[in-house]
Amino acid sequence: MVKTKEVTKKVTRKIHGIYCDDCGKRIHWDLQCSTTRCEYCKADLCEKCVAQEDYADGDYRIVYCAKCWDIVKPIKEKIIALEDEIDRLEKECIAKCGKRKKYVAVLVADKE
Ligand SMILES: [Zn+2]
Ligand SMILES: [Zn+2]
């Protein structure tokens, strides 16, 4: 006798993927340059959990998670202020020293 039985099978598939360390959502990175990994704590982040992105002209993105950005933001502001101060001091040296001569490019020809 031939009988047709209906069987319901439970299938468990293993999906390997990258998941956001902040919200647990799956992340799709097409290329290495689309990687969103926190600059400091190296957490993998989805677009939604990227708290801050710095301009980068290289082939990878500079992003920060919310936790690190909270810590880093005031420190970065201090760094920028110090860089401005270095600029100012460098200009002060130039202004105070003055110039004895205008810069002249000198070509020294090889003798013989
Ligand atoms: Zn997320
Ligand atoms: Zn982080």
Give the number of the ligand closest to the Cα of residue 70.
Answer: 2
- Tens of pLDDT, residues 2-26: 888 888 888 888 878 899 999 999 9
Q: Tokens representing 97?
A: 């020293």
| Residue carrying the six token digits 């490019």 | 105
74 C-alpha vs ligand 2 centroid, how far in Å? 15
- For the question of whether the overall pTM of this predicted structure is more than 0.85, the answer is no
40 C-alpha vs ligand 2 centroid, how far in Å? 5
| Beta carbons of 65 and 41 less than 8 angstroms apart | yes
Class of residue 63 by CB neighbours under 10 A (exposed 0-12, middle 13-18, buried 19+): buried
- Tens of pLDDT, residues 88-111: 999 999 999 988 887 777 777 766
86 C-alpha vs ligand 2 centroid, how far in Å? 29
69 C-alpha vs ligand 2 centroid, how far in Å? 7
Query: Which 8-state DSSP code applies to residue 60?
Result: S
Q: pLDDT at residue 86 above 90? A: yes
